[in-house]
């Protein structure tokens, strides 16, 4: 801190120090991934937290590298047919203290080349578990996984082969590696540490979430019906269906299936046949990944492309009793959509569903898989699903259909049972029919799913009566500005996966309910937080109409929350606000007369990925003389100024880092030290400051101590 010479006639200069400090008031929060909160002037010691992600969870994260562990799986073919090489690389933030990786795609004791990882003895589970050494900057694991996945399959989509995934030598269509992770970390005023997983093929090939193709290929892309479709056609494939045909059936099914949120991207692979004997004609896995044999056409009554696409729109899980509805609805819709597009006639549609009338499938009890011979969920199940669809359309004048049932199932919190299916059927019927009729439709569905009774296939006239007019097709989707953060820090659209908020902010969600069908229909939207409903909106929509419903919920405690609205799921991570950084301090002028005031200005910024907040305090000799609240969005900067009045007069000179006030006139022998304190390296002129936490404004003052004026906003 420099000191200027006093003006003539002044025997002594008194140095006063003004401190601008950041005060954060709050309560430390416990829980997985919740940042600690400091109370008062000094930050509390760092606390430790932990997190985990199993192999079947999808990690989609955003944020600074300081908040994200990144696992990258690199796939490559080997000289040994039937296996592929995987290198799993980890990028680990500084505040992560422990990382444990479990390789679920290999057996314990398998040959693994480790760099920065050590094996963990896990004899109880027999899994291949590896622990980071805590020091290696870019640790990795290299290992081989089996590429071939074989099964003895039965049913309408089965073939004479056994392969579901295969390494064919010149190319391979494989599952992506399954890896689970757990970690511990420390931090203050930070968001939770999360995991991001990525699978890539450095050479020729392409990887999606659940599947990967290794080898030469062509990729086709189309955006339609609110989704992005990617079709991977290997050079070894000779597809019957053209890309435009595949994209066409996807888009048609997407528009017709108003059953909840669509995945942003669907990735489809045309599987080469040739020398490979596939076990099935098509397979869907993960959220929205699928493959279909290159011998399959698109758009027929037995269309596998549509069948597998329908599976991507089934967000529910099932218990054994509810298992039948998954394949039943996919088979029914593949035939129905082909009929409605004119790609199949009624005879072809009828033949597809009438398979359910024949034994042994017709005698199966759909809710009891122990009674199944073969795959009656594809045959009798499709006929029962179609019959439920027909009855709902008839009895509700098109206000409800099987899609209404699937939409309800997609919103289920847990695995779906047959009882859940029946409840959804009754609820759908109640949208356009009286209670007695709704009960009758439920009772019929119960007989057809819990006994050996099978329905008869309806005729052309009955089909026209029920399906002639498109029923109500009410679906939900987030509006363009559908996810916002509101409160004293900001009011703007924010990123998803997860939504990052701070304590005291609200999540504002705008949802569009639209009816793309041909009859009026109802909607019922509920906003739930961790399974508890906190708001509800409902209404009726005419054919072709839409309505925007807005929800808002405030979060007052840190933690991670699951928010559901309709079929949309959001993860909301709530942390304490970050601490602002005092970047620069200055005064308003370089000279004042006795008894006048100096306006001190602090430039405050937020370098964190979440909002920052606190109280800026201007202090003199340890006593706070002025305060100012600061609320900043991520990346935002503001200035705060307060008026500080000194005693008997003086003049000010501005130095390179210091602001010096020299007194003129009678002088006290008392002295006061003035400094500006903040969170980052700062200085009065923008030059590198005095290190984290402190910046100085040196003021030499002759006369009395600091006076205390009224507050001034800034």
The two three-digit tokens of residue 607, written as one number: 């370098």
Domain spanning 15-24+578-700: CATH 2.60.40: yes
Q: Cβ-count burial of 27 within 10 angstroms (0-12 exposed, 13-18 middle, 19+ buried)?
A: exposed
Residues of the chain with CATH 2.60.40.10: 475-575
pLDDT band at 707 (very low <50, low <70, confident <90, very high): very low
Q: Is the pLDDT of residue 700 over 70?
A: no
User: How many Cβ atoms are within 10 Å of 309's Cβ, its own excluded?
Assistant: 31
Q: Which of 103-117, 136-150, 442-456, 652-666 has the lowest mean pLDDT?
A: 652-666
What predicted TM-score, i.e. pTM, was given to this entire model?
0.70
Are the CB atoms for 483 and 450 separated by under 8 Å? no
pLDDT at 45: 38
**What's the rounded mean pLDDT across residues 597-610?**
86
Q: Which of 45-49, 172-176, 238-242, 442-446 has the lowest mean pLDDT?
A: 45-49
Q: Within 13 Å of residue 409, how many CA atoms lie on the same side as its CB? A: 31
Distance CA 682, CA 603 (A): 9
Q: Is the pLDDT of residue 265 over 90?
A: yes
Alpha-carbon distances, residue 146 vs 123, 285, 611 (angstroms): 22, 18, 47
pLDDT at 627: 83
pLDDT at 550: 93
Q: Is the dihedral of CA 200, 206, 209, 212 positive or negative?
A: negative
Tell me: the pLDDT tens digits for 182-209?
A: 999 887 544 578 889 999 999 999 999 9
pLDDT at 324: 98
Tell me: the pLDDT tens digits for 673-682?
A: 333 344 333 3
pLDDT at 17: 45
Those residues whose C-beta lies under 8 Å from the C-beta of residue 573, and which sit 6 or more positions away, are 33, 191, 192, 194, 498, 499, 500, 501, 560
Distance CA 604, CA 627 (A): 14
By percentage, how much of the chain surpasses pLDDT 90? Answer: 54
pLDDT band at 320 (very low <50, low <70, confident <90, very high): very high
Name the phi and psi angles at 41, rounded to 5.
-90, -20
Tell me: the pLDDT tens digits for 222-243?
A: 999 889 999 999 999 999 999 9
Are the CB atoms for 449 and 324 separated by under 8 Å? yes
pLDDT at 7: 35
Tell me: the pLDDT tens digits for 537-558?
A: 999 999 889 999 999 999 999 9
Distance CA 297, CA 282 (A): 12
**What's the rounded mean pLDDT across residues 106-134?**
88
The angle, 0 to 180 degrees and rounded to 10, between the axes of the packed helices 346-354 and 380-395 is 120
714 vs 584 pLDDT, higher one: 584
Q: Which fold has domain 475-575?
A: Immunoglobulin-like (2.60.40)
pLDDT band at 123 (very low <50, low <70, confident <90, very high): low
Q: Is the pLDDT of residue 259 over 60?
A: yes
The whole-chain average pLDDT of the chain stands at: 80
Q: Is the pLDDT of residue 6 over 70?
A: no
Tell me: the pLDDT tens digits for 405-456?
A: 999 999 998 999 999 999 999 999 998 899 999 999 999 999 999 999 999 9
pLDDT band at 64 (very low <50, low <70, confident <90, very high): low
Distance CA 243, CA 584 (A): 59
Distance CA 465, CA 455 (A): 18
pLDDT at 591: 63
Tell me: the pLDDT tens digits for 564-593?
A: 887 688 999 999 999 888 888 777 766 656
Indicate the DSSP class of residue 586. Answer: E
Q: Which of 78-82, 265-269, 595-599, 624-628 has the highest mean pLDDT?
A: 265-269
235 vs 67 pLDDT, higher one: 235
Residues of the chain with CATH 1.10.390: 314-467
Q: Which of 670, 631, 328, 682 is nearest to 486 (CA)?
A: 631
User: How many Cβ atoms are within 10 Å of 9's Cβ, its own excluded?
Assistant: 9
Pick the CATH number of 314-467 from 1.10.3470, 3.90.1200, 1.10.390, 3.30.1240: 1.10.390
Tell me: the pLDDT tens digits for 457-495?
A: 999 999 999 998 777 878 788 888 889 999 999 999 998
**What's the rounded mean pLDDT across residues 319-325?**
97
205-207 β-sheet, strand order? 149-150, 163-167, 172-175, 211-214, 205-207
The two three-digit tokens of residue 73, written as one number: 């799986």
Pick the CATH number of 47-211 from 1.10.10, 2.30.230, 2.60.40, 1.10.3470: 2.60.40
Q: Which of 410, 412, 406, 418 is nearest to 473 (CA)?
A: 406
pLDDT at 474: 82
Residue carrying the six token digits 């499938």: 361
By percentage, how much of the chain surpasses pLDDT 70? Answer: 77
């Amino acid at each position: 801190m420099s000191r200027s010479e006093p003006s003539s006639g002044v025997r002594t200069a008194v140095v006063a120090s003004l401190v601008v400090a950041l005060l954060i008031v709050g309560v430390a929060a416990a829980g997985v991934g919740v940042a600690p909160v400091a109370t008062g002037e000094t930050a509390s010691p760092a606390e430790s937290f932990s997190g985990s992600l199993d192999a079947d969870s999808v990690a989609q994260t955003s944020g600074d590298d300081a908040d994200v562990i990144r696992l990258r799986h690199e796939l490559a073919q080997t000289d040994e047919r039937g296996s592929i090489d995987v290198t799993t690389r980890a990028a680990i933030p500084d505040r992560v203290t422990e990382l444990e990786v479990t390789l679920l795609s290999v057996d314990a004791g398998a040959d693994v080349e480790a760099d920065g990882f050590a094996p963990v003895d896990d004899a109880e589970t027999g899994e291949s578990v590896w622990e980071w050494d805590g020091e290696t900057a870019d640790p990795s694991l290299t290992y081989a996984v089996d590429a071939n996945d074989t099964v003895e399959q039965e049913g309408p989509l089965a073939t004479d082969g056994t392969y579901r995934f295969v390494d064919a030598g010149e190319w391979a269509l494989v599952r992506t590696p399954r890896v689970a992770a757990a970690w511990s970390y420390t931090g203050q005023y930070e968001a939770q540490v999360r995991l991001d997983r990525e699978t890539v093929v450095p050479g020729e090939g392409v990887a999606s979430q659940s599947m990967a193709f290794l080898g030469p290929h062509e990729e086709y892309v189309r955006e339609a019906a609110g989704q992005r479709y990617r079709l991977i056609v290997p050079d070894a494939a000779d597809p019957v269906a053209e890309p435009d045909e595949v994209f066409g059936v996807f888009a048609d099914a997407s528009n017709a299936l108003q059953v909840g949120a669509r995945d942003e991207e669907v990735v489809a692979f045309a599987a080469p046949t040739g020398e490979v004997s596939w076990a099935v004609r098509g397979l869907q896995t993960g959220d929205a990944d699928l493959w279909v044999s290159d011998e399959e056409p698109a758009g027929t009554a037995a269309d596998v492309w549509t069948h597998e696409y329908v599976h991507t729109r089934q967000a529910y899980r099932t218990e054994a009793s509810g298992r039948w509805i998954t394949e039943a609805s996919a088979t029914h819709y593949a035939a129905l959509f082909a009929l409605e597009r004119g790609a199949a006639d009624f005879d072809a549609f009828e033949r597809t569903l009438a398979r359910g009338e024949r034994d042994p499938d017709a005698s199966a009890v759909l809710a009891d898989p122990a009674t199944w011979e073969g795959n009656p969920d594809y045959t009798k199940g499709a006929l029962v699903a179609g019959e439920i669809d027909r009855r709902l359309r008839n009895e509700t004048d098109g206000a409800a259909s099987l899609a209404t049932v699937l939409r309800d199932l997609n919103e289920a919190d847990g695995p779906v049972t047959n009882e859940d299916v029946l409840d959804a059927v009754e609820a759908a019927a109640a949208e356009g029919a009286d209670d007695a009729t709704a009960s009758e439709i439920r009772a019929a569905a119960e007989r057809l799913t819990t006994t050996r009774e099978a329905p008869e296939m309806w005729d052309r006239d009955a089909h026209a009566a029920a399906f002639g007019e498109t029923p109500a097709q009410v679906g939900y989707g987030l509006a363009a500005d559908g996810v916002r953060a509101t409160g004293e820090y900001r009011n703007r659209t924010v990123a998803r996966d997860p939504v990052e908020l701070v304590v005291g902010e609200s999540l504002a969600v705008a949802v569009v309910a639209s009816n793309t069908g041909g009859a009026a229909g109802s909607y019922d939207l509920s906003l739930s937080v961790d399974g508890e409903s906190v708001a509800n909106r409902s209404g009726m929509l005419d054919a072709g109409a839409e309505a925007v419903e807005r929800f808002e919920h405030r979060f007052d405690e840190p933690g991670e929350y699951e928010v559901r609205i309709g079929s949309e799921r959001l993860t909301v991570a709530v942390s304490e606000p970050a601490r602002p950084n005092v970047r620069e301090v200055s005064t308003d002028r370089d000279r004042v007369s006795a008894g006048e005031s100096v306006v001190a200005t602090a430039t405050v910024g937020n370098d964190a990925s979440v909002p920052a907040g606190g109280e800026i305090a201007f202090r003199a000799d340890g006593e706070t003389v002025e305060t100012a609240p600061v609320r900043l969005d991520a990346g935002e900067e503001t200035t705060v100024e307060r008026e500080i009045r000194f005693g008997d007069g003086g003049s000010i000179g501005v130095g390179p880092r210091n602001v010096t006030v020299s007194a003129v006139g009678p002088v006290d022998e008392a002295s006061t030290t003035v400094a500006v304190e903040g969170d980052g390296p700062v200085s009065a002129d923008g030059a590198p400051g005095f290190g984290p936490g402190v910046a100085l404004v040196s003021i030499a003052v002759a006369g009395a101590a600091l006076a205390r004026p009224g507050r001034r906003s800034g």
